[in-house]
Amino acid sequence: MTKAFTWLIALSTLGLSGCLTLAPDYDRPEAPVAEAWPDAANSEVASELTRTNAAPELDWQEFFTDPKLQAVINLALTNNRDLRIAALNIEKAQALYGVQRADLLPTINATGSGSKSRTPASLSPSGAALESERYEVSLGFTGYELDLFGRVRSLKAAALERYLASEQAQHSAHISIVAGVANAYLTLAADRERLQLATDTFQAQKEATDLIQKRFDVGAASEIELRQSQTAMESARVDIARYQGIVAVDENALTLIVGSPISAELLPSDLSSQSDMPELVPSLPSEVLQQRPDILQQENLLKAANANIGAARAAFFPRISLTAGFGTASDELSGLFKSGSDAWSFLPSITLPIFESGKNRANLRIAKADRDIALAQYEKTIQTAFREVADTLVMRSSITGQLNAQQALVNATAAAHRLAEERYKNGVDSQLVVLDAQRSLYAAQQGLVALRLTQLANRLTLYKVLGGG
């Protein structure tokens, strides 16, 4: 017994301490993108280095400073079902990793058994009926594989990388939820401001129409002036109905992504009430792209596929399994644990693949193909991320120019509208000139709201594509 268990301990130690794996060495692939951002963005980047903020280190509470928006985001992080699913996927991946890691150690079980049998005289070698009893209690393990060629370790490494990938997937979901809530919130704020503009315009047009109606009744205004004023008023009424529907849809979209009803006190009144977001300036692509969780997730999956090649290669080599047990046995229940009742077993086995019709080679080809697919997906994710950042940077400078021009247009049309009203009151111009100036001002104001929303959405998008938070 002593020699058998000496061999058992020696072989188990060899299996536990072996570090051999047949997986290929992993080297991070070079990013298949340019080493710098497009020139259209670099000019602005260089001019804003004094305001640099690193998105991954900038917590979302620092980026979104409006208290109401922060409260809505917190609601979403608590109730959003997508984020809950991502968290549960992490728990599942962690459990699967625990199962795979457990295979490195033998599973030890305690067993107890008892049997009693009778052999009739006609079947007994002695010609007399025989009765026999056997009782046994043992402690041991069954089918423990000595991982001499790293098959189990490769599977464990693959499970670990999939677990880490699930964590990165949750990080991606977290960023997406925060950005999605903020985007829906800002869209609602902009559409509420557009609705207010339409309402204010309608009220102004209604007052003007009522005045013209009175003048028309006494013959001081023409019918064309009245009809034109009514047309402008009804156009504003149409816009009110349209934006009321849009605002209702926006509220539904925000409620869906948050995952619970939102108190009316937390909803925005208009876009002007939203706090400005800080400017973000990215560093080199090689640094930025390795901070995005979706890229890190794909790299973890690439490492997992690489480890699976080691497991597929190990299938070509012998597999050694151990079954062993130590306990006590007796022909009487009361005889258990008495001196001399010791019982043990030691059953090593080895399996050497001789003929498997190419199954192992096919599995190895599958593992290599999976690795190549994971590599292509990793590179595509990097290229997609590079384009997202580059496009956002290019659009930022364009949006700034448009916003400045639109603000100047609003100022000019507002001045023209005031001048037209003064000239109309003094009898210099007709009401048609005032109506035309009012339409121009209304369109310019609506355009300004749209561009302000675009600018905030651009900053929000840059925060997201840089892996913020």
pLDDT per residue as tens digits for the range 418-453: 998 888 778 777 777 888 888 889 999 999 999 999
Where do we find the tokens 């009514």? 230
31-104+149-317+359-465 CATH fold = Outer membrane efflux proteins (OEP) (1.20.1600)
Residue 110 has φ and ψ, to the nearest 5°, of -100, 130
Question: 3-state class of 141 per DSSP?
Answer: strand
Which range is most confident: 9-13, 204-208, 263-267, 431-435? 263-267
Looking at beta carbons, which pairs linking 406-409 to residues 24 or more positions away fall under 8 Å? Answer: 406/444, 406/447, 406/448, 406/451, 407/448, 409/444, 409/447, 409/448
Q: What is the pTM of this model?
A: 0.79
d(CA 378, CA 157): 19
Give residue 3's identity as a one-letter amino acid code.
Answer: K
pLDDT of residue 318: 86
Average pLDDT over residues 362-385: 93
Assess contact for 441 and 417: CB atoms under 8 A: yes
In tens, the pLDDT along 324-341 reads 888 787 777 677 777 777
388 alpha carbon, distance to own chain's centre: 16
pLDDT of residue 371: 93
Is the model's pLDDT at 312 over the cut of 80?
Answer: yes
Secondary structure (H, E, C), 204-232: HHHHHHHHHHHHHHCCCCCHHHHHHHHHH
- Under the banding of pLDDT at 50, 70 and 90, the label for residue 1 is very low
Average pLDDT over residues 147-151: 83
Residues 6 or more apart in contact with residue 425 via CB below 8 angstroms: none
| Strand-pair partners of 326 | 139, 344
pLDDT of residue 5: 45
In tens, the pLDDT along 7-20 reads 444 445 544 445 57
Question: DSSP alpha helices (H): ranges in 259-350?
Answer: 285-288, 293-314
pLDDT of residue 47: 42
Which range is most confident: 141-155, 187-201, 386-400? 187-201
Percent of the chain with pLDDT over 90: 28
- Under the banding of pLDDT at 50, 70 and 90, the label for residue 52 is very low
d(CA 94, CA 163): 6
- Going from N- to C-terminal start, the domains of the chain cover 1-20+107-146+318-352, 31-104+149-317+359-465
Alpha-carbon distance values, 394 to 38, 44, 177 (Å): 8, 9, 25
- Under the banding of pLDDT at 50, 70 and 90, the label for residue 53 is low
pLDDT of residue 337: 76
pLDDT of residue 54: 58
In tens, the pLDDT along 95-147 reads 887 877 777 777 778 887 778 888 887 777 777 878 787 778 888 777 778 88
1-20+107-146+318-352 CATH fold = Outer membrane efflux proteins (OEP) (2.20.200)
pLDDT of residue 140: 78
Assess contact for 93 and 158: CB atoms under 8 A: no
Angle, CA 37 vertex, CA 32 and CA 39 arms, to 5°: 130
Percent of the chain with pLDDT over 70: 91
